[in-house]
Structure 1
Amino acid sequence: MMQQIRAVEGHENSLLPAGKRWKLVWNDEFDGTALDSSKWNFRLHFWGNRFPAFTDEGVELDGNSHMKINLIRRPDGSYCSAQLQTGGIVYDIPKENPQSFWPFGAYKEMKFLHKFGYYEIRCRLNKQFGWWVAFWLQSPSIGAHPDPRRAGIECDIMESQEYAQDKTIRCGNIWNGYGKNCKGSGHKHPIIEDTPDGWHLFGVDWSKDGYVFYADGKEVNRVDSPVSETEQFILVTTEPMGYRDAVNPKANPALDTIVLPDCFEVDYVRVFDEI
């Protein structure tokens, strides 16, 4: 069961798990005409290196409390799109001095870190296949400790890799860092039914007992362990496919069929604590 909550006057209601009392502790309604830099930064690096598919361009606020992240085709035919985050993973921070012995740069202050609560986004998904959008939580130090409760996890609340083809999303958790030791919860792929206006609600209820994932008010996945006991940051991201291929990092051929514009549109992002 879910309950509607008037979280922010003059904006759409939130849809939260019933039987609990909730308090809004962080939000962005994307009012105004410019991204709030006190809440978000752009993710531009991947494992310490500037990543060609990430950009700080293509993000616009329409003046009606909506943000759009646009897929961009560069003059050379390559693609890029923006990733927004309220913090950052330490492995992404580039060296400030190329001659330094240390492989990454100095730790930077996070703009918003939080533990437990309900994390919610209202959004319109990308329409075309070849890039994907996501709403997720990340630990700044995932994999840095053998106990994922202390190191934190990657919590994928919504990923749209296959949505444009079969109307499914992915939701679930990853822990133990990345590479051969990476473990996952067995992501589920629920079908997302169309809505009259295209808007969808995705959220996760993260508590000491586990994670419950929701899509448009319906429970779509449940993960009991491991449960992160460390504060994590929020990401609202987009990415063209193909550029993570270590052998041949270039645009996925599916991008050749995309007709621009295509965007990820976000109405709000909100975080609630149970009280």
Structure 2
Amino acid sequence: MPARRLAAALTALATTLVLAVGCGATDAEPPPRPRPVPQDWNLTFSDEFDGSELDTDRWATCYDWNDDGCTNSGNDEKQWYLPGQVSVGDGRLRLSAQRRSTRGSDDRTYPWRSGMISTGRDDWYGEPRHVFTYGYFEASVRIPAQEGMFPAFWMMPASKFTPPELDIMEFFERTDRVMMYVHWRSPEGDQRARGMFGPVPFPERHHVFAMLWTSDEVSWYVDGVRRFRVTEPERIPHVPMEILINLAVGVPRSPPAPVDSAVMTVDWVRVWQQ
């Protein structure tokens, strides 16, 4: 082969390899690991997001206090959740945050609008779609890289009141450190236990965040590896809970001025139970 043609072929091969490595680094699934699920447990709930729209038999697009949208005022969040910020396509769920002034039904104006899903109710007086007491909960999630976002995968009681609360994953302030919490109420008041794992460049691809919840323990996993565990009896909840996945904005601080949008994607959600 002439030297010029050989050089061109080598350049093309090198370009192909760089592209292949780049694609794998940014959005590849983590290597599979055995799930820490008891052998006699079964898959009782799942969504692979393979359709073209959200399955509303499985999911609501707000909290149980939905009134033409919603927010979590307890965190002083900067977004108003709306169903238009939730979409499904190409095998994934997308929760989109936009810097767009939005008037909430609470007569407040929010600088952002965003999306969330929940297995709960359409409004305060309805029945939740799905509730769970114990299980192994997992989701493949890619968080946004933008500052000021507060993505979370968590569980709250079907009673609509917390604590208890189980936070399978939360990110705030830093995108390279995942936070894991259990909230419970002691005789002295609301308490919580916290675990964390990092630093990892989480926004570069999807990661599997999971939690094993039994009557004796709560354990958190990142890509199949246990990173935090709680076994103290007073900290373990024993009440039915809903699953929530949301992209909140502005906790603990608002996004900087150049940031005007962000997207959180979910490849799948699965629940295993006895």
Deviation track 1:21-51 (CA, whole Å, cap 9, x = no partner) reads: 4311000111111000001112157698953
Alignment partner, residue 255 of structure 2: 254
1:81 to 114, 120, 124: 114
State the match for 1:131 in structure 2: 149
Q: From 221, 238, 243, give the equivalent of 1:214.
A: 221
Give the AA of the match of 1:24: L
- The residue that corresponds to 1:104 in the other structure is none
Instruction: Identify if the C-alpha distance between structure 1 residues 56 and 15 changes in structure 2 by more than 3 Å, giving closer, same or farther.
Output: farther
User: Is this contact kept in 2: 1:143–1:176, CA < 8 A?
Assistant: no
1:13–1:59 Cα change, 3 Å: farther
How far apart in 1 are the matches of 2:255 and 2:203? Answer: 27
TM-score, scaled to structure 1: 0.72
**RMSD (Å), alpha carbons:** 3.1
Counterpart for residue 3 of structure 2 = none
* 1:235 aligned onto 2:244: yes
**Residue 23 in 1 paired to residue 42 in 2?**
yes
Q: 1:36 maps to which residue? A: 55
Which residue, out of 153, 158, 172, partners 1:140?
Answer: 158
**SS, match of residue 235 in structure 1:** strand
Give, in angstroms, the shift of residue 241 of structure 1: 1.0
In the superposition, relative to structure 1, how do residues 265 and 228 fare at CA in structure 2: closer, same or farther (>3 Å)?
Answer: same
- Matched AA of 2:59: W
Q: Determine what percentage of the aligned residue pairs are the same residue.
A: 24
| Paired residues, number | 226
Q: CA 1:142–1:227 in 2, change beyond 3 Å: closer, same or farther?
A: farther
Correspondence for 1:57: 84
AA at the equivalent of 2:85: G
Amino acid at match of 2:41: W
Q: Secondary structure at the match of 2:271?
A: strand
Instruction: Report the secondary structure of 2:177's partner residue.
Output: coil
Per the normalisation by structure 2, the TM-score is: 0.72
* Alignment pair present for 1:155 and 2:166: yes
- The equivalent of 1:117 in structure 2 is 135
Which structure is larger by alpha-carbon Rg, 1 or 2? Answer: 2
For the structure 1 residues 18 and 56, does the alpha-carbon distance in structure 2 shift closer, same or farther, using more than 3 Å as the test? closer
Choose the corresponding residue for 2:98, options 72, 83, 96.
72
